[in-house]
Structure 1
Amino acid sequence: MESMFTKIGAYQYTSEALIIKGKLQSEGIDVFMADNHTIDFDPLISNAIGGVKLFVRNVDAGKAKQILFAINRYSVDDSGNPVICPQCSSSQVDLVSTIKDLKSLFSFLFSLLLGLLPFYVKYKYCCNNCKNQFL
């Protein structure tokens, strides 16, 4: 049996998905979320289960993708200008968290043992084009 729904996105946290859901609903598109309660209960498993998924009806998929394409999903600076990769000059740059240094690793393991969210996280920009990471 063919599915009546099309997955249009997956987001690490429910708050991100709710913003996109609100935008699509304001355009008259019904949006359905999956796995949001699981991730709200334990945010650390978001990557393991593929994040919060947004679905729309097949008939609305084209319009929903156009709306999402119009929203700039990449990082911008405080002035609203896109962050540019210093290596390849691409504007397809995301802000990512890393646990590559020793302090981040110990913080992550300590929080995991206590069932808390990590209290020390280091963020870097990562270029989707050349995979360069920079501050």
Structure 2
Amino acid sequence: MKDELVTISTYSSAIDAHLAKNKLESEGILAFLFDENMVSLNPLYNISVGGIKLKTLQSDRAQALAVLDYVQDQPYTNEQNEAIACPRCGSENISYAYDSSNRLKSFTGFLVALFTFSLPLLPKDRYTCHQCHLVFQK
């Protein structure tokens, strides 16, 4: 009987896909990424190819899903390894989002960033609470 590859998760970000793949491999589970290059070359292709697919052997499917569920259930932590909680309701049921909107508040800010080569330092990290829907920075 052949052990076939099955898709256990899909991602829109190559970074998230590699983190999941590396976690599975650290647990001894064989994992592969499909359509990563297509999505990385042009993010607009993400919709047409169905995202970056994380695949594993059918026989490892249950164990792989358990590992990914365990990782997903872990709270986000700060530098002191303390769980980050929503400042409004105190929930730890939050998700992380890179905010690329409103990166440059003014034309002057853009010029300073451009001439000091600090454009990568300007974006802000944001969290979204799934209980009260507050978007906040840590």
Give the ranges of 4+ consecutive aligned residues of structure 1 lying more than 6 Å apart after TM superposition.
none
TM-score, length-scaled by structure 2: 0.66
3-state SS of 1:71 partner: helix
Unpaired runs of at least 5, structure 2:
106-118
Measure how far apart 1:46 and its partner are: 6.9
Contact 1:85–1:127 under 8 Å retained in 2: yes
Matches within 5 A, 1:89-100: 89-98=90-99
Q: CA RMSD in A?
A: 3.0
**Partners of 1:134 and 1:68 in 2: CA distance:** 26
Unpaired runs of at least 5, structure 1:
105-117
* Structure index of larger Rg: 2
Report the number of matched residues: 119
TM-score, length-scaled by structure 1: 0.67
Contact 2:99–2:124 under 8 Å retained in 1: yes
Aligned match of 1:80: 81
- Does 1:9 find its partner at 2:9? yes
Aligned match of 1:33: 33
3-state SS of 1:32 partner: strand
Residues 41 and 88 of structure 1: CA distance in aligned 2, closer, same or farther (over 3 Å) = same
The sequence identity of aligned pairs, in percent, is 25
**Partners of 2:64 and 2:103 in 1: CA distance:** 42
Matches within 5 A, 1:100-111: 101=102, 103=104
Question: Could you give the per-residue CA deviations for residues 8-36 of structure 1, whole angstroms, max 9, x where no partner exists?
Answer: 22233223322221221232322121220
Measure how far apart 1:62 and its partner are: 0.9
Question: Could you give the per-residue CA deviations for residues 80-105 of structure 1, whole angstroms, max 9, x where no partner exists?
Answer: 2221012332212122133554847x
